[in-house]
Amino acid sequence: MIIKTFKQVEQFLALHIPKNSQQTFPGELGLKRAKHFLQLLGNPQEKIKVIHVAGTSGKGSTCYLISSLLISQGFKVGLHQSPHLLDVTERFQTNNQNISKEEFIFYLNKIIPYIAPLLTYFEILVGLAFYIFADKKVDYAVMETGLGGKYDGTNVVSRSDKLAVLTKIGLDHTNILGKTIEEIAFQKAMIINEKSQVISIKQEPGAEKVIRKVVGQKKAKVQFVSFPPPTGVEGRLRRELDPLLQGDDNTKQIINNLGLIGDYQKENAILALAAVNYLSNRDGFVINQKKIKKVLETANFPGRFDIKKINGKTIIFDGAHNPQKMEAFINSLIKKYPDKKFNFLLAFKKGKDYQNMLKIIISYAIVHKIIITSFLTENQDMINVSEDPKLVENAYMSSVRRGRVSRPLDVKIIPDLKNAWETILKYPEPIVVTGSLYLVGEIFRLINTTNTTNKQILPINKKTNKQIIK
């Protein structure tokens, strides 16, 4: 079989989208299948230095920052992330540039003879990413886990120099990973290799205890980092060990000038800095701090507190899809716009904790109107369906009855996404689109496909709130 067009790519990959949760999350069987696939490809994952990132919140931003920081130091860096927003080529980046569709077709044709019928969409793309990055001879490959860690399709690297990076761990995917922080932390921590290095953001005590236990069992080493950095004796000792990171006033200033909005992004940035600092010590390169500073000040990650203007109207896109992320996003929104009220366009993926995410949104006096909509994506690792808008509305009404809303809000259901988007654009207030990264991606798709001749869509300088004219 030879693929010639990108339409054929999409049709081929669609055949491997799982039809049910058992196929989507096959556990140990899926990991064995992924490893066998990579073996057929010549084990490309063992030919490159890998930074493997797991966690509940902040994986995408941390991967992007690690990649950007390493690029600034002159390295060739592969970056694999999921899900994609618009196009599957986003998952295969070299120096933060998507692979071209022509190159994607070229590489996919190379591996098609080794793709078994039972391989999933995600497993194929992970294998393809390792194959591409090895062929391009990247200096580092930054790989984001899809779900969990222990049985994730990215957990296929056996090299002891694989760097494991753990972002903030919280409750998400509890039906698959476990009902407690400790159970989920164990799944995430199982990306740690024997005698390897782990860098983690400061975790809740239960999660940290589990991570330390796994580190001990694997004879690995772990460094926990935080922002703001620790003070006192601990801070002084860390300054002596890591002058770039802990307690350094210059580093604090750099982090505080971060282009990404939100205190949680400062944690992601300090984690990314810690990873690059470790690699500089291990691999013997000297960090250019001026370039580090420039990267962090200009950082911009699509779909994460992503501010745009359409015909002068401010629209903020954020893919928050669990209570931990939503709390962080809403707090950052209030901090940046303390006196503003927003119209919210909401949809939540089926199976997510939409009740608690909705409670977080409506508990603050920043909401003017809410439009609840829906989405369906068929070009991702699985078919993603949003929660029934009526159930989301019922959750709102339940909060009203329980006195969790200080005043009644204007809440509408518009199931058709295009209609919902066109409706919310008519109101004068600024807009927030949140609840799912899939919702954000579908709105981006609408913006790209709608006739925008009369619509001026511009990114925003997050420091000045002014439009960036390119």
- For residue 141, the domain's CATH number is 3.40.1190.10
230 shares its domain with 365? no
Residue 27 phi, psi dihedral angles, 5° rounding = 70, -140
Q: Distance of CA 58 to CAs 94, 165, 233, 252, 470, Å?
A: 21, 11, 29, 19, 29
282 shares its domain with 316? no
423 shares its domain with 401? yes
Within-domain flag for 427:
yes
173 shares its domain with 276? yes
343 shares its domain with 397? yes
Q: What pLDDT shows up at residue 439?
A: 97
Give the C-alpha separation, 271 to 200, whole Å. 7
User: Do residues 82 and 122 touch, judged by C-beta distance below 8 A?
Assistant: yes
For the four alpha carbons of 143, 333, 320 and 171, in that order, the dihedral sign comes to positive
User: Which residues are CB-neighbours of 37 under 8 A, at least 6 positions away?
Assistant: 114, 115, 116, 119, 123, 124, 127
User: What band does 250 get if pLDDT is binned at 50, 70 and 90?
Assistant: low
Reported as a single tens digit per residue, the pLDDT across 202-230 is 999 999 999 999 999 999 999 999 887 66
* Token pair for 265: 């992004």
The owner of tokens 């090895």 is 134
172 shares its domain with 270? yes
195 shares its domain with 328? no
Give the C-alpha separation, 216 to 462, whole Å. 42
User: Do residues 349 and 388 touch, judged by C-beta distance below 8 A?
Assistant: no
Task: Write down the pTM of the prediction.
Answer: 0.89
Within-domain flag for 1:
no
Residue 328 has pLDDT above 60, yes or no: yes
Q: Last residue of a domain, which of 297, 325, 347?
A: 297
Residue 243 has pLDDT above 80, yes or no: no
Nearest to 261 by CA among 311, 213, 204, 329: 329
Within-domain flag for 467:
no
Question: Angle 174-179-183 (CA atoms, 0-180°, nearest 5)?
Answer: 100
318 shares its domain with 440? yes
* Token pair for 329: 């996003």
Domain count, the chain: 2
Within-domain flag for 122:
yes
Give the C-alpha separation, 66 to 274, whole Å. 9
Range of the domain at 403: 306-459
Reported as a single tens digit per residue, the pLDDT across 231-240 is 554 454 444 4
362 shares its domain with 413? yes
174 shares its domain with 240? yes
Within-domain flag for 431:
yes
The owner of tokens 């001879």 is 137
Q: What's 366's domain CATH number?
A: 3.90.190.20
**For a pLDDT cut of 90, what percent of the chain falls above it?**
75
Strand-pair partners of 378: none
Residue 19 has pLDDT above 70, yes or no: yes
Alpha carbon of residue 226 to chain centroid? 19
Residue 379 phi, psi dihedral angles, 5° rounding = -120, 35
DSSP 262: S
Q: Last residue of a domain, which of 269, 297, 325?
A: 297
* Token pair for 18: 């799982």
Within-domain flag for 223:
yes
Within-domain flag for 170:
yes
Bond before 415 cis per omega within 30 degrees: no
178 shares its domain with 134? yes
Within-domain flag for 464:
no
Residue 248 or residue 132, greater confidence: 132
Q: Last residue of a domain, which of 267, 297, 327?
A: 297
Q: What pLDDT shows up at residue 284?
A: 96
41 shares its domain with 101? yes
